[in-house]
Amino acid sequence: MSTYGYYRLAAAVPQVRVADVDFNTEKLVAAAQEAAGGGASVVVFPELSLTSASCADLFSQPRLLKAAESALCRFAEETSELPLVSVVGLPVMLDDMLFNVAAVVQGGFVRGFVPKSIIPDKRESYERRQFSPAGMLTRTEVSLFGNFFNVPIGTDLVFDAGNDLTFGIEIGDDAAALLPPSTRLALQGARVILNPAAPLALAGRADYTRNMVQARSGCCVAAYVHAGAGVGESTQDGVCGGSACIAVNGCLAAQNTPFCRELSMIYADVDLQRLSAARMSESTFRENLLLGEWPAPRRVICRVEEKPCDLKHAYLPARPFVPCGADAAARCEEILNIQAAALAKRIECAYAKTLVIGVSGGLDSTLALLVCDRACRLLGRSNDCILALTMPGFGTTGRTYNNAVKMIQLLGCTFKEVNIKEACLLHFKDLDFDPALRTNTYENVQARERTKLLMNLANKTGGMVVGTGDLSEIALGWATYNGDHMSMYGVNCSIPKSLIRCLIEYAATQVGGELAEVLRDVNATPVSPELLPPSDDGRIDQKTEEILGPYELHDFFLYHFIKYGAEPEKLRHLAIHAFAGEYDEALIDSTLRTFLRRFFTQQFKRTCVPDGPKVGTIALSPRGDWRMPTDVCGKLWNF
């Protein structure tokens, strides 16, 4: 069976000789065998691959056309036992017109022909001399070569090759049309678009093609597979580079090295269930159906054997929220700017004279303090309007306390310290509670005492409380209801724990000096609410990730559950692959059970969260992002 919607797609650029049909067929069969051996469910070859694309006026020669017919029959026969769909190109004569078509071959049969729609007439290519566009086609079925009967032909074909694998085809320049066939095919259900092509290798064209493939895959919310003709094509007036690339919903998944003189094959393991979920959640995709008359497609069945997919060629980052690569710093800067701009606007609207924030020396309050600093700079205010409180309690350690004090002082904020122990002991007495019992009451009294202080100080100074809770905590309900759960504006509400570390490290690189050292030590400190007493040597004893499991796993589950609706078994499978060598299966299983249990039982805390800025595609605000009944039964998702 396929692995949770994953299918392996392949683009192949084989060796070819101009008009040497026997040689080309031999190479195509060998490439199809290699693709099948590599686990591919679909392989696409370049445009006119059986004959080569640069035969020019030879395309009108009956001998070449008959040779192409025989070659297609041979290819179908010799690949009949292969468990994949192959897309090869050839010229086909119909009603005294010649069409450039892609033939879909599976199980020894030609399942359909798709003709090229846009026939260019430009200096580098004179295809109109030989070929007619698909719009001139007068048939919907053809019987050809004495071997294939009633084969559907047209640009309206959507091929069904498996439970989740549906694809359509646009050839060469069709992809660059003002309204390319892929738009209609995607709206008609094709989750994969195949693009056999034969562009000349002009300076800058490979980059243009790669960008176009990424853009088309994003616009269509699809996987897009491009295979361009290789260096074996004629070099009389130009050269083909043999570029191939695969993109998935706007992201490049695989690309080859062009100008290869041997077979060039690339693979990508693509989650087609994920694409379906993305389409369902994107109203802009659905609403395109309203923009014009979209005739029903003709569906062609070409089922291939479903097989396990080992995700060897899947792009599956373990930390999907964390930016990486050359643009990582720019993305961090953008996120911090979004947070700061949002907070600055709220300060103006609330006419807040002060920003009141509790600083613990942990990750969340550190990021929120940095955002307050940026917001004040945006508004031209001095940082002395930031009232930063440290509120030592029963679990506060010297490490976090010292880091909090240093940050407040180095940023020039107004420092205030209130030790909450005495107030909490009085409250324990009011409750007839024995503080020797380290229960939730022991912890939550401290959290609510801190929030009470912050709120009342904000009232006293005409200010607003800046919340510090993050997306990971909101997802798990890891906050004290009406304690750290509450604020007047939550700047971290859509920032998960894994991303917070990244943003703090970026901030450290920007500020340098002593503040950078403090920020890096905050990043290195174990995550803890510090509500239980430290160990005998003064170190943090209450470590959140030892209780809940690693936040990296929770963030991974959250991303795939919310964004793509991944089911528990699939979450487990993806995590095992993404975190191979980092976390064992037992830890992944226990963390997943914790995530699912807490996500469904803690909705009541999310139903009444304060306002806060959305910085990415995932947030849990009940006002516009995640709406789930508080009294939902999560039994279906038990793991």
pLDDT band of 128, cuts 50, 70, 90: confident
pLDDT of residue 27: 98
pLDDT band of 284, cuts 50, 70, 90: confident
Q: Which of 23-32, 273-282, 338-347, 403-412 has the lowest mean pLDDT?
A: 273-282
Q: Which of 104-108, 227-231, 302-306 has the lowest mean pLDDT?
A: 302-306
pLDDT of residue 289: 66
pLDDT band of 241, cuts 50, 70, 90: very high
pLDDT band of 624, cuts 50, 70, 90: confident
116, 134 Cβ separation under 8 angstroms: yes
pLDDT band of 291, cuts 50, 70, 90: low
Supply the mean pLDDT for the chain.
Answer: 94
Mean of the pLDDT values across residues 89-99? 95
Q: Which of 468, 205, 199, 437 is nearest to 357 (CA)?
A: 468
pLDDT of residue 296: 82
Mean of the pLDDT values across residues 400-408? 98
Q: Which of 5-19, 197-211, 470-484, 503-517 has the lowest mean pLDDT?
A: 197-211
Mean of the pLDDT values across residues 520-533? 96
> Which H or E run contains 228?
strand 223-228
Q: Which of 45-49, 57-61, 109-113, 121-125 has the lowest mean pLDDT?
A: 121-125
The predicted-structure confidence for 266-280, as pLDDT tens digits, reads as follows 999 999 999 999 988
Task: List, in sequence order, the alpha helices (H) in 411-496.
Answer: 421-430, 440-461, 471-476
pLDDT of residue 429: 97
Q: Which of 224-228, 514-518, 540-544 has the lowest mean pLDDT?
A: 540-544
Q: How far apart are alpha carbons 407 and 521 in whole angstroms?
A: 11
pLDDT of residue 287: 72
pLDDT band of 102, cuts 50, 70, 90: very high
Q: How far apart are alpha carbons 369 and 388 in whole angstroms?
A: 8
pLDDT of residue 127: 84
The predicted-structure confidence for 572-616, as pLDDT tens digits, reads as follows 999 999 999 999 999 999 999 999 999 999 999 999 999 999 999
pLDDT of residue 285: 77
User: Tokens 């976390």 label which residue?
Assistant: 583
Largest pairwise CA distance in the chain = 100
pLDDT of residue 1: 47
Mean of the pLDDT values across residues 183-205? 94
Mean of the pLDDT values across residues 470-493? 97
109, 150 Cβ separation under 8 angstroms: no
Helix, strand or coil, per DSSP, at residue 185 = helix
Claim: this prediction has a pTM higher than 0.85: yes
Q: Is the pLDDT of residue 205 over 50?
A: yes
The predicted-structure confidence for 363-376, as pLDDT tens digits, reads as follows 999 999 999 999 99
**Over pLDDT 70: what percentage of the chain?**
98
Q: How far apart are alpha carbons 626 and 633 in whole angstroms?
A: 16
Mean of the pLDDT values across residues 47-64? 95
Q: Which domains does the chain have, with CATH numbers?
A: 6-301 (3.60.110.10), 328-637 (3.40.50.620)
Can you state the angle between helices 272-281 and 551-564, rounded to 10 degrees? Answer: 70
Helix, strand or coil, per DSSP, at residue 10 = strand
Q: How far apart are alpha carbons 254 and 516 in whole angstroms?
A: 37
The predicted-structure confidence for 415-465, as pLDDT tens digits, reads as follows 999 999 999 999 999 999 999 999 999 999 999 999 999 999 999 999 999
Phi, then psi, of 373 in degrees rounded to 5? -60, -45
User: Tokens 């004090």 label which residue?
Assistant: 405
Q: How far apart are alpha carbons 525 and 444 in whole angstroms?
A: 22
Mean of the pLDDT values across residues 376-398? 97
